[in-house]
Amino acid sequence: MKLNPQQVQKVAKLANIPVSEEEVEKYSDQLSKILDYIDQLNSVDTAGVEPTFNITGLSNVLRDDEVGESLSQEEALKNTSQKKEGFFVTKGVFEEG
């Protein structure tokens, strides 16, 4: 499978990764090579094989509905410089919900 520069651009947009023209070319080349390598999986017969998403074999790991400690507002906002009256601040976005 090859990823052409347009596809790379589309993926970069979806991934919210800023890429330069130069990088698009580079990633197109590198990702295509990696995907070519990965395509060997097509030769494995997986008919009737269940997927493994989690190897622990655990299920229903649940906790009781109990309230614990939260961070203070100051601690929550400690690692950002963009704050105002207890809120985090970012540049305007339109409400889309």
Partner 1 sequence: MKYEPVIGLEVHVELNTKSKMFCRCFADYFSKEPNTHTCPICLGLPGALPYTNKEAITKCIQIGLALNCKIVDLSRFERKNYFYPDLPKGYQISQYRWPLCVEGWLEVEDKEGNVSKIRINRVHQEEDTGKLTHSDGQTLIDFNRSGVPLVEIVTEPDFTDPSQVKDYAKKLQQIFRYLSVSNADMEKGDMRLEANVSVRPVGQKELPNYRVELKNINSFRFMTAAIEYEIKRQIEALEKGEKLTQETRGWNEDKRETYLQRSKEEAHDYRYFPEPDLPELKMKSEEERVKEEMVELPQAKMQRFVSEYGISKQNAQVLVELKEVGYYFEKAVKLGEAQQIKPQELANYIVNQKITLASQDQVLRAVEFIAAKRVGIIEDEAVIKKIVLEVIKKNPKSVEDYKRGKLNALQALIGGVMRKTQGKVNVEKVMVVLEKKLKSGDTP
Partner 2 sequence: MDLTKLTLIETIKGLKERQFSEVELNRAYRERMKKLNPSLNVYLWAKENGTEGIPAAIKDIIVTKDISTTAGSKILEGFVPPYNATAVDRLLEKNISVIGKTNCDEFAMGSSGENSAYGPTKNPWDLTKVPGGSSSGSAVAVASDMCVFALGTDTGGSIRQPSSLCGVVGLKPSYGRVSRYGAIAMASSLDQIGPLTKTVADARLVLEWISGKDGYDSNCQNSEFKVQSSELKKDLKGVRVGVPREYFGKGLDEGVEKVVREAIKKLEKLGAEVVEVILPHTEYGIAVYYIVMSSEVSSNLAKFTGIRFGKTRDKFGSEAKRRIMLGTFALSTGYYDDYFAKAAKVRTLIKQDFAKAFQKCDVIVGPVSPTTAWNLGEKVNDPLKMYLSDAYTIPASLAGIPGLSVPCGFSEGLPVGLQILGKYMDEETILDVAESYEQATSWRKVKPKL
Using CB under 8 A as the criterion, which residues of the chain lie in contact with partner 2 when the complex forms?
Answer: 3, 7-8, 11-12, 14-19, 23, 27, 30-31, 33-35, 37-38, 40-42, 44, 46, 49-56, 58, 61, 63, 71, 75-76, 78-80, 82, 88, 90
Query: Which of 38, 76 has the CB closer to partner 1?
Result: 76
The encoded tokens of residue 63 equal 């906790």
* 88 neighbors 82 (Cβ within 8 angstroms): yes
Binding to partner 1 (CB under 8 A) within 25-64 occurs at 53-54, 56, 58-64
User: In the bound complex, what is the minimum distance in angstroms from residue 96's beta carbon to partner 1?
Assistant: 6
**Non-local CB neighbours of 9 within 8 Å, separated by 6+ positions:** 19, 24
Return the ∠ at Cα 76 (arms to 72 and 77), rounded to 5°: 120
